[in-house]
């Protein structure tokens, strides 16, 4: 698994009022929840496909403070020459306006501890091969 160093990213405008916070865990998929802004303290995020397709650019945002992300799986197309995960297929985690990392390949990264009040997940696939996808759980302090 390879991660790019943190870099500033354009801030996506977040609606003033996200969906109401749920008491239970939320299960989010990039496929079904594209574009949503969800307030949640715990839950999971996954690609939502049996085998994801080509040409995807999906994004969702979770509003929650100081979240820990625990990866369950990462199975994305990867080319050795693309160790920075800038081509092919990748998933990126953005905390506030800072990129925490962009991930591709076949080994899930270590758990991530995010500071801030929200995180955004971006999932990109190119026009060639596909794979099984990704999944992680999250838990936020508030």
Q: Is residue 62 a contact partner of residue 40, using CB atoms and an 8 Å limit?
A: yes
Burial of 60 by CB count in 10 Å (0-12 exposed, 13-18 middle, 19+ buried)? buried
What pTM was computed for the model? 0.83
pLDDT tens per residue, range 82-92: 677 888 899 99
Alpha carbon distance 108, 21 (integer Å): 28
pLDDT tens per residue, range 37-82: 999 999 999 999 989 999 999 999 999 999 999 999 999 988 766 6
Confidence band for 133, pLDDT divided at 50, 70 and 90: very high
Confidence band for 22, pLDDT divided at 50, 70 and 90: low
Place of tokens 């160093």: 5
Confidence band for 16, pLDDT divided at 50, 70 and 90: very low
């Amino acid at each position: 698994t390879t991660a790019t160093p943190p870099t500033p990213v354009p801030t996506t405008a977040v609606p003033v009022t996200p969906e109401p916070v749920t008491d239970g865990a939320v299960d989010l998929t990039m496929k079904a929840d594209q574009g949503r802004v969800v307030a949640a303290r715990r839950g999971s995020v996954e690609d939502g496909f049996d085998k994801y397709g080509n040409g995807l650019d999906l994004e969702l945002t979770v509003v929650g403070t100081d979240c820990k992300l625990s990866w369950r799986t990462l199975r994305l197309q990867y080319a050795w020459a693309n160790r920075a995960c800038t081509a092919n297929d990748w998933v990126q985690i953005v905390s506030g306006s800072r990129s925490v990392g962009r991930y591709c390949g076949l080994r899930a990264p270590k758990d991530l501890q995010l500071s801030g009040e929200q995180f955004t997940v971006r999932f990109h696939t190119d026009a060639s091969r596909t794979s099984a996808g990704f999944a992680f759980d999250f838990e936020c302090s508030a």
